[in-house]
C-alpha cells in the first residue's frame, strides 16, 4: 500500500513530510516524493528509490523557500512500473495542482482516454494521474477548487485516499477517502493528513478518521468534513494511546496477524476492475490476457515454491474441474532440473509473491527458452518474474511484511478462481451464475466477519495443543493443498514438526504415527460430497487408534462434532471458495501456537521473505 503524509501550518514543511514518510516506510514501497509551495509555484521532487534517496535529491536541489501546504508519498506500484515519472505526486497540465493517492482507480483507463481526447497531456503510466487532470478539467469549466474536487470524485470508481493542493488556493488541502484509509491529525494552528497513524505520532496524537465516501478540507485553523453530496459531517476526534511499534502494526501485536485480518481488503482490491456484477462479467483483457494468447493452449504448467506452490495445487483442481485442460503443478526447484515436456502450446504460469524467487525465475526462463507462453501471478509490480512474463496478473494484496505468506496466498487463489471463470467465459461462452459472482463480491465482508469469529475459537484450541511436538494435517481434493499450507504455516512459525498429507494416504504410512499425543488436523467440507464421506472414514481410522482430532469442517457436520476432540465450524460456500475459507483458521491456529511458544512470529529463524538464491 502507498503511504501519504500532508501538512498545513507554520512549521518547516519539508522536515514534517520527510519524518512522516520515514514513519510509513514499514508499509513497503518502491518510490517516494514530496510537493510543496515555493514563491507561489508548486514544486515537486520525487524519485524511484527510498526516502533516503528522496532526501538526497531534495538537498541537491536545495529549495530556497519551501512552504506548506505540502504532501508526501511513498508508492507501492499497482499501475505503472516503479520509476521517477510514475512516482507521486502528480501535476495537472498547468502545474497548478498536485495530487497524491493510495488505492486503485478502477475506471482510470476510460477516464484517461476521455481526458486525453480533451487535450490533457499525461506524464505517467499511473491510474492516479487521472485524478489531478479530472480536477483541472472541472476548473477549466469554471468551477472553483472545492466543487471541481467533489465533481471529480463523483467520476472515480475504486479505492482512493487522496491529498490534493492548489497553488491558487494555498490555504487548503483537499482530502478524500474511499476504501483506502485516511487519518487527519489535529494540531494548534496546524493540521495533518496521513494514510496511517504512525506518520502523525511525532506531531499529534489527536486524530480524526475519515469514512468511505467522505471529503475533508484542511486549513491551518480548521478541518471540515463532508459527504460526497457536500453535506457537513460531524466527527469527534480520538486520542491515540499506541506507541509507534504497535501503531505500525495498526494496533495488532504482529504484522502476521495484521496481514491475516487484511485478507478481506486484499481480496477487495484484487477484485477491483476485474468483476462486473451487472454484466456478470469477469475481465482480464485490459491486463493483456486476451483470447488469442490462450486459444491454442493444450497444457498448463504451474511452477512455484512454498505457499505459492500450494496456490498452484489449488488451481489444478479449479482448472481441470472447469476447463478440461491438463495442468501440471511443479515445485520450481524440481521443474528446472527435470525434462519437462513443453512446447509453444504450453502455458507456463509462475506464481510468486515477491516476483524474485530464484528457482521460480529459473523455471520461467527454462520454459520461455522451450517456447511456452509465459504468464505470472505476482504481488510486486515490476519484479523480475513480472518483467520477464508476457502477461502478469497482479494480486493487489499490498506489501506483505511478515515472512509467512498469508494475504498473498489468498489473493493468488482468488486470481486462479477469476482466471478459471474467465476462461470458462472465453471458451465455453458460460457466464458465471449470478449468485456465484454475488458471493465473490460479498467475499470480503463475509470473510471479515468469519475471521473475527473463528479467531476466538482457534485461540482456545491453540492453548490446549501448543506444546505438542508433531502434528499431521489431512485433506482431500481441493482441501489437500490447504492441508499442506496449514502444515507449512505451523512448522515455519511455531517450529512444531507438521506434515500435510492427502487423507486417502493414511493407510499407506502416516497411520503408523498416530498416538495419543499426536494430534491430527482434519479438513472436510460437505460441499465436496463423497470426498467429505471418505475424509470422515479417515477421521474414524485416526480415532480408532486414539489419535486426537482437531477438525476444521463444515459447520453443520454432526458426525465430526461427535468424533473430534476440537471442532471449528466453517460456513458453507461455493466449491471454488473452499480453499480461502479453510486456510484462514489454519493461519490463525499457526499464529496462536507460535505466540504461545514465544516464537518470533514475523521473522522466523532461518527464513527469508524472498529466497533469491538457490
Chain residues in the site for ligand AGP (CB under 6 A): 305-308, 352-354, 357, 360, 403-405, 492, 610-611
Q: How far is the CB of 33 from ligand AGP (least distance, A)?
A: 27
Which is closer to ligand AGP, CB of 126 or CB of 405? 405
Q: Which residues pair with 33 in a beta bridge?
A: 46, 73
Query: Position of cell 480536477?
Result: 135
Q: How far is the CB of 404 from ligand AGP (least distance, A)?
A: 4
Which is closer to ligand AGP, CB of 6 or CB of 355? 355
Which is closer to ligand AGP, CB of 192 or CB of 255? 255
**Which member of 2, 378, 471, 599 is catalytic?**
2
Q: Which residues pair with 392 in a beta bridge?
A: 376
Which is closer to ligand AGP, CB of 128 or CB of 354? 354
Q: How far is the CB of 520 from ligand AGP (least distance, A)?
A: 22
Which is closer to ligand AGP, CB of 128 or CB of 308? 308
CA distance 31 to 16: 18
Which is closer to ligand AGP, CB of 523 or CB of 590? 590
131 touches 101 (CB < 8 A): yes
**Which member of 167, 220, 526, 609 is catalytic?**
609
Q: How far is the CB of 337 from ligand AGP (least distance, A)?
A: 18
607 touches 403 (CB < 8 A): yes
Residue 609 designated active-site: yes
Which is closer to ligand AGP, CB of 74 or CB of 360? 360
Q: How far is CA 100 from the centre of its chain?
A: 20
- Please state, in angstroms and as integers, the Cα–Cα distance from residue 119 to each residue in 38, 42, 114, 128, 137, following that order: 28, 22, 9, 18, 10
CA distance 422 to 283: 7
Among all residues, whose Cβ is closest to ligand AGP? 306
DSSP-derived secondary structure for 288-334: T--HHHHTT--EEEEEE-HHHHHHHHHHHHHHHHHH---EEEEEHHH
- Grid cell, residue 561, equals 462434532
The three state secondary structure string of 225-279 is EEECCCCECCCCCEECCCCHHHHHCCCCCCHHHHHHHCHHHHHHHHHCCCEECCC
Residue 93 designated active-site: no
Beta strand 41-48 with 391-394 is unpaired
Q: How far is the CB of 26 from ligand AGP (least distance, A)?
A: 18
Sign of CA pseudo-dihedral 590, 595, 598, 600:
positive
CA distance 34 to 16: 11
Tell me: cis bond preceding 69? Omega within 30 of 0 counts: yes
Q: How far is the CB of 207 from ligand AGP (least distance, A)?
A: 33
CA distance 151 to 499: 56
Q: How far is the CB of 596 from ligand AGP (least distance, A)?
A: 19
Which is closer to ligand AGP, CB of 174 or CB of 305? 305
Tell me: cis bond preceding 172? Omega within 30 of 0 counts: no
Give the dihedral of Cα atoms 367, 373, 378, 380; nearest 10 deg. 90
Q: How far is the CB of 117 from ligand AGP (least distance, A)?
A: 40
Catalytic residues: 2, 609
Amino acid at each position: 500500500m502507498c503511504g501519504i503524509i500532508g501538512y498545513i501550518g507554520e512549521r518547516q514543511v519539508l522536515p514534517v513530510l520527510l519524518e512522516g514518510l520515514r514513519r510509513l516506510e514499514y508499509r513497503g514501497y518502491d518510490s517516494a516524493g514530496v510537493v510543496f509551495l515555493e514563491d507561489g509555484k508548486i514544486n515537486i521532487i520525487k524519485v524511484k528509490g527510498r526516502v533516503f534517496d528522496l532526501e538526497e535529491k531534495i538537498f541537491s536541489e536545495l529549495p530556497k523557500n519551501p512552504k506548506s501546504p505540502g504532501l508526501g508519498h511513498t508508492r507501492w506500484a499497482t499501475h505503472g512500473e516503479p520509476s521517477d515519472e510514475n512516482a507521486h505526486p502528480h501535476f495537472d497540465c498547468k502545474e497548478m495542482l498536485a495530487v497524491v493517492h493510495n488505492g486503485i482507480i478502477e475506471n482510470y483507463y476510460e477516464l484517461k482516454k476521455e481526458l486525453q481526447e480533451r487535450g490533457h497531456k499525461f506524464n505517467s503510466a499511473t491510474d492516479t494521474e487521472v485524478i489531478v487532470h479530472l480536477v483541472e478539467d472541472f476548473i477549466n469549466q469554471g468551477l472553483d477548487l472545492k466543487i471541481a474536487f467533489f465533481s471529480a470524485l463523483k467520476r472515480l470508481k475504486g479505492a482512493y485516499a487522496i491529498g490534493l493542493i492548489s497553488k491558487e488556493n494555498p490555504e487548503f488541502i483537499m482530502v478524500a477517502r474511499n476504501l483506502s484509509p485516511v487519518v487527519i491529525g489535529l494540531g494548534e494552528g496546524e493540521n495533518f493528513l496521513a494514510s496511517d497513524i504512525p506518520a502523525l505520532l511525532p506531531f499529534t496524537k489527536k486524530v480524526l478518521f475519515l469514512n468511505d465516501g467522505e471529503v475533508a478540507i484542511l486549513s491551518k485553523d480548521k478541518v471540515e468534513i463532508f459527504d460526497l453530496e457536500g453535506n457537513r459531517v460531524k466527527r469527534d476526534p480520538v486520542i491515540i494511546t499506541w506507541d509507534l511499534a504497535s501503531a505500525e502494526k495498526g494496533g495488532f501485536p504482529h504484522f502476521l496477524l495484521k496481514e491475516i485480518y487484511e485478507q478481506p481488503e486484499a481480496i477487495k482490491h484484487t477484485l477491483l476492475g476485474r468483476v462486473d456484477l451487472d454484466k456478470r462479467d469477469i475481465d482480464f483483457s485490459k491486463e493483456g490476457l486476451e483470447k488469442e494468447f490462450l486459444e491454442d493452449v493444450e497444457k498448463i504448467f504451474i511452477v512455484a515454491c512454498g505457499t505459492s506452490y500450494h496456490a498452484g495445487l489449488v488451481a489444478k483442481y479449479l482448472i481441470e474441474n472447469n476447463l478440461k485442460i491438463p495442468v501440471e503443478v511443479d515445485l520450481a526447484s524440481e521443474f528446472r532440473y527435470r525434462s519437462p515436456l513443453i512446447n509453444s502450446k504450453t502455458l507456463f504460469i509462475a506464481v510468486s509473491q515477491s516476483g524474485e524467487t530464484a528457482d521460480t525465475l529459473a523455471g520461467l526462463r527454462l520454459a520461455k527458452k522451450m517456447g511456452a507462453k509465459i504468464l505470472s501471478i505476482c504481488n510486486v509490480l515490476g519484479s523480475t518474474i513480472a518483467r520477464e512474463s508476457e502477461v502478469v496478473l497482479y494480486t493487489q494484496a499490498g506489501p506483505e511484511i511478515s515472512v509467512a505468506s498469508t494475504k498473498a496466498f489468498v489473493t493468488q487463489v482468488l486470481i486462479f478462481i477469476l482466471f478459471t471463470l474467465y476462461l470458462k467465459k472465453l471458451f465455453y461462452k458460460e457466464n458465471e451464475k449470478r449468485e456465484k459472482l454475488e458471493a465473490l463480491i460479498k467475499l470480503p465482508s463475509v470473510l471479515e466477519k468469519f475471521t473475527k469469529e473463528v479467531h476466538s475459537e482457534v485461540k482456545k484450541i491453540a492453548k490446549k495443543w501448543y506444546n505438542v511436538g508433531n502434528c499431521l494435517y489431512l485433506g482431500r481434493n481441493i482441501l489437500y493443498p490447504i492441508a499442506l499450507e496449514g502444515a507449512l504455516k505451523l512448522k515455519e512459525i511455531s517450529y512444531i514438526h507438521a506434515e500435510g498429507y492427502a487423507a486417502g494416504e493414511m493407510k499407506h504410512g502416516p497411520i503408523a504415527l498416530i498416538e495419543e499425543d499426536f494430534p491430527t488436523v482434519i479438513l472436510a467440507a460437505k460441499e465436496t460430497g463423497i470426498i467429505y464421506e471418505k475424509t470422515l472414514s479417515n477421521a474414524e481410522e485416526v480415532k480408532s487408534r486414539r489419535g486426537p482430532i482437531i477438525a476444521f469442517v463444515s459447520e453443520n457436520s454432526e458426525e465430526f462434532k461427535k468424533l473430534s476432540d476440537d471442532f471449528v465450524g466453517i460456513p458453507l460456500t461455493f466449491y471454488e471458495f473452499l480453499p480461502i475459507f479453510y486456510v484462514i483458521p489454519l493461519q490463525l491456529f499457526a499464529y496462536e501456537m507460535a505466540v504461545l511458544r514465544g516464537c518470533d512470529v514475523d521473522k522466523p529463524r532461518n527464513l527469508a521473505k524472498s529466497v533469491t538464491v538457490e
